[in-house]
Every structure is written in C-alpha cells, then in structure tokens.
Amino acid sequence: MDESNHWYGHSRILGRYCGLPDEAPKRIQGFLQHGWNYLHGFPPNDHWCSPGYPRFVWSDVLRRRGWSMGRRGHYLVGAPWIYLLYLEPELGVRPDREGTIWYPFHGWEKFSVSGDHARLADEIRNVETGPVTVCLYWLEFANPDIRQAYESRGFRVICHGDRGSRWEGKGRDFLRKQLVELRRHRRVASNRLGSALFYGASVGCELAVYGDPMQYEDERPEYGGTARRLRLWPELHGTRVDPDLAAEAAHRELGFDYQATPEELRRMFGWKRVREGVPSPGGAAGAKRPERGKAAAYGDRASLAK
C-alpha cells in the first residue's frame, strides 16, 4: 500500500515468513513501521498514514504513545528484524567476532544532516581499540568527501545498499547484509540511538552511543531532540554500555514479545492463505515458532486479527 512497507526488504521477509512465494513483495493493507523512532513509530506529519488504515508497530510503547496523540488502529507485530532472525538463525554467525561497526547518523532524500564527519572520525579513532567498519547510508556513501573522512583514518567503509521499493530488487537484501556485518563485529556504535544499535544488541554486540549527534537541517520539535533521548535512555549512552541493559532494551524496542504467527500476519496484512505446495517458513533447527502472537490481543481494532 505504501512504498515504505517495502524498504529494506521488510515485506519480502514477512512474506517469506508467511510461506508466500518470493516472486514479488506483497501489498500490505496498512502502514508498517520501517524504522525505530521515539515518537509513535511514524513521521510526525499527519498525512503520512491515510486515516482508517491500520498501523503495524514494533512495540507497545509506540502504540500507547500514538493513542495518546489521537492516532488509532495500531497493531503490535514486532520489527521485521525479529522475523529475519527466526528465518536465518545462523546467517553470518562466526566465532571470531572483532572490532566495531559504526553507523553515523544520516539524512534522507528530503533533508540532509549537518555535522563534521572528520571530527567524528577522529573521536571514533580515539575511542575504539580494534578495527573499525563505518557503515554509511547510501546518500552519504555517494559523497566522496564523507567517505574520505573515514577512509583516511584507516576505517573500512561500507554501505548495506539502497532502501529500494516494491518494484526494485536493490533493497531486498538490506537487512540480510546488515545481519552478516553485525555478527562479524564485537561492538556496534553510533552518535544517535537508532535501529542498527538495537539490531546489533539483539545479536550479541556490545553497544555504544557517543560523539556529535548531528542534526537535520529542520528537525521536527515533536521528537524532543537529544535532551529527550538522554532523558529516556541515559543508560544506553556512553562509550561503554551495560550489555544486559542493552539486550533488554533491544528486546523491548524491537518487540520480540509480539512476534505474530504466520496466520495472524496473513489476516492482518490482507494476504491470502499460503498456496498448497508452498513451503512454510524455514525457522531452521532450534527456532521455535510462537504458538500465538500478541498482535491480536493488543490491537486497537481486533476484528482485523480474527
């Protein structure tokens, strides 16, 4: 329904989990949260989500925050990331993890970010003791000056790829590439809390948040800025973060408790039942499919999940 449902391969991962063929990503009848944020899971502007359509969010705090701001029709399904971990429990696993993967805060097509990448690179070099991989968003990766700021310090610089769309294949393996990279590193760090940090903490990376947080050119006041992030998550900031607290936060923010069953997702997304002969999700050895997800119990309109 919305292009953001297909960014980073989300709809393909969920379709595969539901046992649907991977010929093309399925149209989700509603709006799927595509990244972590600390508002209500979606951009603050009201026109982003058409009224009357469900909003599929990762965690209960976002559902409650959206409700308090007058938004309705929320369903808890957890992040697409947790379904990828279910499907690919061994992808990228290696016994010799080392170094840090660093994610500088990035802009997007409509807004760029102001900040000094060279100064940030110097701070990273002063803090990290092992090899450093800097992962840039595709817009920053396309900027040779930004890449040079990190490459000149001896860092490996990569990009997980474009975010893609429903009709383009270039974003389909974004999260799989990210999972492989996170599982090869001992630490994950950034200058702002974000999806990548929680993804990393969920697969055993040590977490760190430090450095100039940088700013959008016209950052929306609804988010509350750096002061609000520090107030809500003081324990997740610093060059060393308690790994137990980081893992607990990742479990909560990514919504592991709300992983839905394939049948629940098919009903909520408006997808037909799996065709005869199409295999069920892999799940791999040792992966336990939830007997019953919590999405139905926590939806604003339970009829969609029945």
Do the bridges between strand 215-216 and strand 132-135 make them parallel or antiparallel, or are there none, so unpaired? unpaired
pLDDT for 182 equals 98
- Give 44's contacts (C-beta < 8 A, 6+ positions apart): 220, 222, 223
Q: Which long-range contacts (CB under 8 A, 24 or more apart) does 44-51 make?
A: 44/220, 44/222, 44/223, 49/2
For the segment 83-105, the average pLDDT, to the nearest whole number, is: 96
Q: Residue 10: which pLDDT band, with cuts at 50, 70 and 90?
A: confident
Tokens 């490459």 belong to 151
What are 64's two structure tokens? Answer: 């409650």
pLDDT top residue among 159 and 295: 159
Can you say how many angstroms the Cα of residue 149 is from the centroid of all Cα atoms in its chain?
Answer: 26
pLDDT for 160 equals 94
pLDDT for 132 equals 98
- Spell out a b/e string for 126-157, using b for 16 or more CB atoms within 10 Å of the CB, else e: ebbeeebbbbbbbbbbeeeebbebbeeeebeb
- Give 239's contacts (C-beta < 8 A, 6+ positions apart): 127, 208, 210
Whether the pLDDT of residue 296 is over 90: the answer is no
CA 251/CA 204 separation, integer angstroms:
12
CA 237/CA 185 separation, integer angstroms:
19
Q: Residue 196: which pLDDT band, with cuts at 50, 70 and 90?
A: very high
The winner for highest mean pLDDT among 9-13, 86-90, 108-112 is 86-90
For the segment 220-245, the average pLDDT, to the nearest whole number, is: 84
Q: What values do phi and psi take at 233, rounded to 5?
A: -130, 55
Tokens 């590193």 belong to 185
Whether the pLDDT of residue 74 is over 90: the answer is no
Q: Among residues 179, 160, 161, which one has the least CA distance to residue 170?
A: 161
CA 97/CA 248 separation, integer angstroms:
21
The rounded percent of the chain whose pLDDT value lies above 90 is 49
**Residue-by-residue DSSP string for 112-153:** -EE--HHHHHHHHHHH--S-EEEE--HHHHT-HHHHHHHHTT
Domains along the sequence of the chain with CATH: 3-89+254-305 (no CATH), 100-253 (3.40.50)
Q: Residue 49: which pLDDT band, with cuts at 50, 70 and 90?
A: low
pLDDT top residue among 295 and 43: 43
Instruction: List pLDDT tens digits, range 133-157.
Output: 999 988 889 999 999 999 999 999 9
Half-sphere exposure of 193 (CA within 13 A, CB side): 26
What are the distances in angstroms from CA 290 to CA 18, 257, 275, 277, 285?
A: 13, 10, 21, 22, 15
Instruction: List pLDDT tens digits, range 152-178.
Output: 999 999 999 887 655 566 667 889 999
